[in-house]
Amino acid sequence: MPSADITADNIFIDWRGNGKDTSVERVQLGDLEDAAYIPPGSAMIGKQAGSEMWRSPEAHASGPVNKPSHIFSFALVCIYAVHKRVLFAVGEEELDEG
């Protein structure tokens, strides 16, 4: 059952070791809060699924959510893993006063 909520919190990693001796044993995508069955070759339409900071443009517009949407969200997770920043989040220091 694919997740419509690909975020850093929804990637589960089994690993062994510490530091340079760390090895990843298994990676799984999951969502402990909600999930939906979408048959292969289908798309979810009309629902803004997932967390807004990780959602694809088509998901924001309530368009079809399918594999390319998930790849977009996964790319945001990869950017977060490298830069330690949620790309589309606005920090307190970036907000204008007023």
The domain spans of the chain are 8-94
Condensed to tens digits (0 to 9), the pLDDT of residues 4-22 reads: 667 788 888 899 999 999 9
Q: Which run of H or of E encompasses 27?
A: strand 23-29
Decide which of 2.60.40.10, 1.10.510.10, 1.10.760.10, 3.50.50.60 is the CATH code for 8-94.
Answer: 1.10.510.10
Grade residue 26 by pLDDT with cuts at 50, 70 and 90.
Answer: very high
Residue 80 has pLDDT above 80, yes or no: yes
User: Which amino acid would we find at residue 37?
Assistant: Y
Tell if the pTM clears 0.85, that is, is over it: no
Among 30, 34, 27, CA closest to 9? 30
Condensed to tens digits (0 to 9), the pLDDT of residues 44-79 reads: 776 666 677 888 888 888 888 888 888 888 888 899
The rounded radius of gyration (Å) of the Cα atoms in the chain is 16
Cα 63 to Cα 2, 33, 43: the distances in Å are: 17, 22, 9
Residues 6+ apart with CB under 8 A from 37: 1
